């Protein structure tokens, strides 16, 4: 690195090569997640997995990532972020090979759980290492934009790569995608990546780890079950239990000298508002995208592959936004740029409210415009969240940001799914023709199945009414999301109004990016 007097040190060639080594596993882990959706039918047939086992094969990875993220972020701060990244890569690569050759559903579920723990070890420590390697705020934002863009790239090419693999090889081949990247990380990581740990951190509080898992896992599990099965006593009870344990966890953190989660981070209004805004954006964006994909398939009649291709313009818009956001962030204050970008997302959502039951073009355009507003909040928001924490707590801050994304996605599907179900049932009850079976009022999928078994004119009428009800649900979700994003934009404009642009003086940037002076830490490598 090189630096000028009074300015943060600027990254050099070694750091940018190190970023590539960190970004490649991120891309392939993201790609692997999307490929799993395609691989599940053949995987289930090969292992004779029943419906419950299939759900666990898909969900256990996300449960473990969400449950262990905060713990792993703090562990990385204590034992060394590079050490934890390399350990996570070794476990992830080994478990991927074992998953490819699993011979039973139970074995695969267990291995997917291990993969989730390894993924939780990788994500916050990789993000924290990026903040160590790129101290200049502008370079750091650009690096985070590249890192965040890798998730989107994985989503774009996942269906294509997955389809090619599954056409030529057995289902286990999809698990081997990330192995070469993990080997590359293990070989080059010790040479290119700096080590960083907090030399003054105390011992890890094991009861706090247990409480964090007992709080996060029931909430995530309950939200996923609510999204799948609607409002019932069991998932609601899981969420309530998780929240109650979460309150006990927070109370314990306040009493500990070396807490698992440093609640002092939330004392900064900008940090708290950004974290909450990113959680809300993840909730609205993730939930909306699920129903957009369903509209392409169930209303517009596109195949799964063509539905995936219809999402590509939006994904490309997000990728462009991730790369442009740091450039704009050097000239425009976040209190202006982030709300303005959300207005672009709101415009995309309002376009979606004009979508009809025929023709996917307007929905494709609306999703693309919505995605163009993604970059500033995700890239600069993550930069500000991690940069606002003292260096020795960057892993904890990164873990909070990523855990918020996991919660937001699960909460969005559950909450917006409930709205969609309510609107659909109300419209279907009023709009379905006489003679339509009662099951057609439950879900669009049930209505389409019923329509296939009815005489021509009646079946067409049932299909049209059900599709119209579903599209009305999409309109409602888009309007609710637009209104909530407007509220988030107002919140960010108010709380970030004094935060300078990255292009302003280093003194101003450092003052805005720190909650408090960092405690002594060890930086090596």
Q: What angle do CA 40, 41, 42 make, to 5 degrees?
A: 95
- The CB density around residue 14, as the number of other CB atoms within 10 Å, is 14
In this structure, are 281 and 402 located in the same domain?
A: yes
In this structure, are 106 and 73 located in the same domain?
A: yes
In this structure, are 225 and 101 located in the same domain?
A: no
Residue written as tokens 């969240």? 385
pTM for the model: 0.76
Burial label for 1, CB within 10 Å (0-12, 13-18, 19+), is middle
In this structure, are 187 and 47 located in the same domain?
A: yes
Q: pLDDT at position 486, please? A: 94
DSSP character for 27? H
Residue 199 domain-assigned (yes or no): no
Q: pLDDT at position 344, please? A: 93
- The CB density around residue 367, as the number of other CB atoms within 10 Å, is 29
State how far the Cα of 23 lies from the Cα of 39, in Å rounded to an integer.
24
State how far the Cα of 8 lies from the Cα of 61, in Å rounded to an integer.
38
In this structure, are 396 and 347 located in the same domain?
A: yes
Residue 385 domain-assigned (yes or no): yes
State how far the Cα of 252 lies from the Cα of 142, in Å rounded to an integer.
37
Question: Which tens digit of pLDDT belongs to each residue from 41-86?
Answer: 778 788 888 767 777 787 788 778 878 888 888 888 788 888 999 9
State how far the Cα of 328 lies from the Cα of 377, in Å rounded to an integer.
12
Residue 472 domain-assigned (yes or no): yes
In this structure, are 445 and 346 located in the same domain?
A: yes
In this structure, are 334 and 363 located in the same domain?
A: yes
Range of the domain at 228: 205-258
Q: What angle do CA 318, 396, 81 make, to 5 degrees?
A: 90
Element (H, E) at 195: strand 195-197
pLDDT profile of the chain (525 residues), mean per 10: 56 84 79 69 80 75 81 82 90 92 90 89 84 81 83 71 75 84 89 78 79 85 73 86 90 83 77 85 81 82 75 86 86 90 94 84 92 87 77 72 74 79 84 76 76 78 85 92 93 86 53 41 40
Cβ contact 65:224 at 8 Å:
no
In this structure, are 253 and 267 located in the same domain?
A: no
Residue partners of 422: CB distance under 8 A and separation at least 6: none
Structure tokens at 125: 């420590």
Residue 418 domain-assigned (yes or no): yes
The gap from C-alpha 154 to its chain's centroid, in whole angstroms, comes to: 12
Number of domains in the chain: 3
State how far the Cα of 423 lies from the Cα of 520, in Å rounded to an integer.
55
Phi, psi of 442, deg, nearest 5: -80, -60
State how far the Cα of 435 lies from the Cα of 500, in Å rounded to an integer.
64
Query: Which of 194, 220, 248 is the C-terminal boundary of a domain?
Result: 194
CA nearest neighbour of 317 among 394, 378, 265: 378
Query: Which of 258, 285, 303 is the C-terminal boundary of a domain?
Result: 258
Residue 2 domain-assigned (yes or no): no
In this structure, are 129 and 278 located in the same domain?
A: no
In this structure, are 364 and 505 located in the same domain?
A: yes
Residue 139 domain-assigned (yes or no): yes
Q: pLDDT at position 1, please? A: 42
Residue 239 domain-assigned (yes or no): yes
Residue written as tokens 């999301």? 481
Burial label for 231, CB within 10 Å (0-12, 13-18, 19+), is exposed
State how far the Cα of 143 lies from the Cα of 145, in Å rounded to an integer.
5
In this structure, are 281 and 333 located in the same domain?
A: yes
Residue 4 domain-assigned (yes or no): no
CA nearest neighbour of 108 among 36, 159, 179: 36
Structure tokens at 431: 């709009």
Structure tokens at 184: 């590359």
Residue partners of 433: CB distance under 8 A and separation at least 6: 458, 461, 462, 465
CA nearest neighbour of 497 among 270, 331, 265, 279: 270
Ramachandran sector of residue 80 (left: φ over 0; alpha: ψ -120 to 50; beta: rest): left
In this structure, are 399 and 423 located in the same domain?
A: yes
We report the CATH number of the domain holding residue 36 as: 1.20.1250.20
């Amino acid at each position: 690195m090189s630096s000028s007097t009074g300015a943060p040190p600027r990254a050099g060639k070694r750091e940018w090569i190190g970023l590539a080594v960190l970004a490649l596993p991120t891309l392939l882990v993201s790609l692997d997640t999307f490929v799993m959706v395609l691989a599940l039918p053949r995987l289930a047939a090969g292992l004779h997995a029943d419906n419950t086992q299939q759900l666990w094969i898909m969900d256990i990875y996300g449960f473990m990532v969400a449950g262990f993220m905060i713990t792993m972020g703090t562990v990385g701060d204590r034992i060394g972020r590079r050490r934890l990244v390399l350990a996570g890569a070794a476990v992830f690569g080994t478990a991927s090979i074992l998953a490819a050759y699993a011979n039973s559903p139970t074995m695969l579920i267990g291995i997917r759980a291990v993969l989730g723990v390894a993924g939780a070890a990788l994500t916050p420590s990789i993000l924290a290492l990026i903040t160590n390697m790129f101290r200049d705020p502008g370079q750091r934002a650009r690096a985070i934009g590249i890192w965040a863009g890798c998730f989107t790239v994985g989503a774009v090419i996942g269906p294509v790569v997955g389809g090619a693999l599954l056409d030529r090889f057995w289902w286990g081949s999809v698990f081997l995608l990330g192995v070469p990247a993990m080997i590359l990380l293990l070989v080059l990581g010790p040479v290119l990546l700096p080590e960083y740990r907090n030399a003054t951190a105390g011992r890890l509080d094991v009861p706090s780890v247990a409480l964090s898992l007992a709080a996060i896992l029931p909430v995530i599990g309950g939200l996923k079950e609510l999204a799948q099965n609607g409002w019932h006593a069991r998932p609601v009870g899981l969420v309530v239990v998780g929240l109650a344990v979460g309150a006990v966890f927070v109370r314990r953190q306040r009493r500990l000298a070396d807490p698992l989660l440093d609640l002092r981070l939330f004392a900064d209004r900008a940090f708290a508002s950004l974290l909450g805004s990113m959680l809300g954006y993840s909730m609205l964006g993730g939930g909306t995208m699920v129903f957009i994909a369903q509209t392409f398939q169930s209303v517009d009649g596109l195949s799964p592959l063509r539905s995936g291709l219809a999402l590509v313009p939006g994904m490309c818009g997000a990728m462009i936004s991730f790369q442009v956001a740091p450039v704009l962030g050097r000239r425009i204050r976040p209190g202006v740029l982030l709300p303005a970008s959300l207005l672009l997302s709101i415009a995309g959502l309002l376009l979606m409210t004009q979508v009809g039951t025929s023709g996917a073009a307007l929905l494709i355009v609306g999703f693309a415009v919505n995605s163009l507003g993604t970059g500033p909040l995700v890239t600069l928001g993550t930069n500000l969240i991690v940069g606002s924490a003292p260096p020795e707590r960057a892993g904890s801050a990164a873990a909070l940001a990523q855990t918020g994304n996991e919660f937001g996605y699960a909460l969005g599907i559950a909450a917006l799914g409930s709205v969609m179900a309510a609107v659909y049932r109300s419209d279907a009850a009023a709009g379905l023709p006489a003679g339509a079976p009662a099951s057609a009022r439950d879900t669009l999928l049930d209505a389409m199945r019923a329509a296939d078994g009815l005489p021509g004119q009646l079946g067409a009428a049932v299909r049209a009414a059900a599709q119209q009800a579903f599209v009305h649900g999409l309109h409602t979700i888009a309007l609710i999301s637009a209104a909530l994003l407007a509220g988030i934009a107002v919140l960010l404009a108010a709380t970030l109004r004094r935060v300078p642009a990255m292009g302003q003086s280093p003194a101003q940037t450092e003052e805005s990016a720190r909650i408090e002076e960092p405690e002594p830490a060890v930086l090596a490598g």
